[in-house]
Amino acid sequence: MEISNNTVAIIGGGVIGGGWAARFLLNGWTVNIYDPDPDAKRKIEAVIANARRSLPGLSDVAMTPEGRVVYCDSIAEAVTAANWIQESAPERLNVKHKILAEIQQYCRADAVIGSSTSGFKPSELQQGAKTPGQIMVCHPFNPVYLIPLVEVVGGENVDQDILQTASGVLSNLGMKPLIIRKEIDAHIADRLLEAVWREGLWLINDGIATTTEIDDAIRFGFGLRWAQMGLFETYRIAGGEAGMAHFIEQFGPCLKWPWTKLMDVPELTDELVKAIADQSDAQSGAHSIRELERIRDDNLVAMMRALKGQNWGAGALLNQYDADRKPSLNDVDIRAPIPTIDRTVPIDWLDYNGHMNESRYGQVFSDATDQFMEFIGVDADYMATGGSFFTVEAHIRYLSEMREGQKLGVRTHCLVAEGKKMHLFHKMFDSDGNLVSTGEYMLIHVSLKTRAASEPDAKIALKLAEISSFHQQLDLPDGVGRSVGAARR
């Protein structure tokens, strides 16, 4: 079973439904939305605006062209042509049953129906359904357009082929589908969250900690570890060279100590609710919800981009997501400057002036050089044989600003390719085709064994000579050979 027409129906446009809409939309899907709330469009557009600002910053290649949003007047209108339907209605089983019945009355027989429920099991959702095997749990985490995890639970009635289809679609959206083999109340992640939540309630109830102190314990401590290694791998490392067995031997007896009240929960009295609410409001300070969302998004982008550099956890997932969408250079016309970079300026590239930091121009041109090297065959396999190019001189001109979320492209002109030398001239353009920067680079081929200049492999030299022969026929780019204080040419 394959999904081909890429139309999704979002039923319920709250925080979660709006996040789903944004995730699908920015991956090129047509998004049909139904929500009876008269203010739904405004709320959803605010979520989509946040996603447009933050999601592209996770990628180092151009995003898929954005799809389109259709606001529908009925469930029938939304689902008729959809091959994926995501229900994100309130967590009341009778409400979900009514909505799911109406969905199945009008939807395609081969459509996947996912429910965003955080607590109900698929067997509960499937009760009385026309086609039980069409309905599964696809439980995401807020913000859906940034957090990759989706808990996928089919239960006994859903065919494994449909689960694999759903998993494939979610992976193509840059998400991490976690297929849960047995249904259980609240699935996996929320059960873990619930344990921490209950313990937190007791710590406040007993006057031991405030909401701020509890959050600090998480965000400055184990939360950072959990973000990239999870629970068990973190503890395995804590066991030292002897590993998890040693950790359990050391700390296993603690499980019998009276450290936790997880078997009980404090009564949520008016006083406790007020204490929690007051402390949480004070903790947030003067920030509005929208401001807090942006702060959250900025932090998540920066954290996950950092993990990309380590190719670890969520970062490894994003690297694979980029690799799957990276355009091939096999059919590039070498008679013109080579398209080496197409991407978006991410949030964490901005400086105190509100535009792209000058060091990032250098990073873009460095990445463009790497892409050009890969194009001529100087890739990981070639470098493993002991050869590469080193930059020995560079000059960057900053002609215009690049701001958050702007798209940029680099086109690379090979000025000279003679023996050990490779002379490149990069031009950076914004999405309107305006020249914003140039980078001129002289590189020398070296032996990675001796770290001295050496002749490149014959195949590399031949490819370079072929490109250079065409590029030397092009007009010399403006600014070649410039340096600070030199006369214009």
- Separation CA 350–CA 406 (nearest Å): 11
pLDDT score recorded for residue 330:
78
Identify the CA nearest to 176 among candidates 25, 315, 60, 346: 315
Distance in angstroms (rounded) separating the CA atoms of residues 292 and 290: 5
Say which residue the tokens 């059919």 belong to: 331
Residue 185: count of CB within 10 angstroms of its CB: 11
In terms of C-beta density within 10 A (0-12 exposed, 13-18 middle, 19 or more buried), how is residue 108 classed? middle
| 190-285 maps to CATH 3.30.1330.10 | no
Is pLDDT above 70 for 353? yes
Report the pLDDT value the prediction gives residue 488, as an integer from 0 to 100. 57
Share of the chain above pLDDT 70, in %: 98
Residue 401: both structure tokens together: 């600003």
What value, to the nearest 5°, has the Cα angle with vertex 102 and ends 100 and 108? 85
Q: Is 328-471 in CATH node 3.10.129.10?
A: yes
What percent of the chain has a predicted confidence (pLDDT) above 90? 74
Contacting residues for 370 by C-beta, under 8 A, at least 6 apart: none
Model confidence at 229, pLDDT cuts 50, 70, 90, reads confident
User: Token digits for 359?
Assistant: 């060091």
Residue 332: DSSP 8-state: -
- In the prediction, which pLDDT does 243 show? 75
Least confident of 96-110, 295-309, 357-371, 447-461: 295-309
Look at the alpha carbons of 471, 477, 480, 483 in this order and tell me if their dihedral is positive or negative. negative
176: Cα separation from own chain's centroid: 10
**Residue 265 pLDDT exceeds 80:** no
Q: What is the pLDDT of residue 485?
A: 60
pLDDT at site 430? 96
Distance CA 108, CA 126 (A): 17
| Cβ neighbours of 305 (radius 10 Å) | 20
Whole-angstrom Cα distance, residue 253 to residue 164? 41
Q: What's the rounded Cα separation, in Å, for the pair 173 and 28?
A: 9
Per-residue pLDDT reduced to its tens digit, 378-421: 999 999 999 999 999 999 999 999 998 899 999 999 999 999 99
Which run of H or of E encompasses 229? Answer: helix 223-229
Which amino acid is located at 398 in the chain?
A: Y
pLDDT at residue 272 greater than cutoff 90: no
Q: Please tell me the predicted confidence (pLDDT) of residue 259.
A: 72
**Residue in the block written with tokens 């050979």:** 481
Q: Grade residue 79 by pLDDT with cuts at 50, 70 and 90.
A: very high
- The structure tokens listed for 308 are 């990309």
**Residue-range domain boundaries for the chain:** 7-187, 190-285, 328-471
What is the Cα–Cα distance from 303 to 68, expressed in whole angstroms? 29
User: 29: which residues sit within 8 A by CB, 6+ positions away?
Assistant: 6, 7, 8, 67
Q: Quick check: 356 and 349 in contact, CB under 8 A?
A: yes
Domain 7-187 has CATH 3.40.50.720: yes
Give me the pLDDT at residue 1, please.
47
172-190 pLDDT, tens digit each: 999 999 999 999 999 999 9
Question: What's the token pair of residue 43?
Answer: 């709320």
3-class SS of residue 81? coil
pLDDT attached to residue 486: 53
Q: What pLDDT does residue 254 have?
A: 72
Half-sphere exposure of 319 (CA within 13 A, CB side): 12
| pTM of the model as a whole | 0.84
Strands 421-430, 435-447: pairing kind: antiparallel
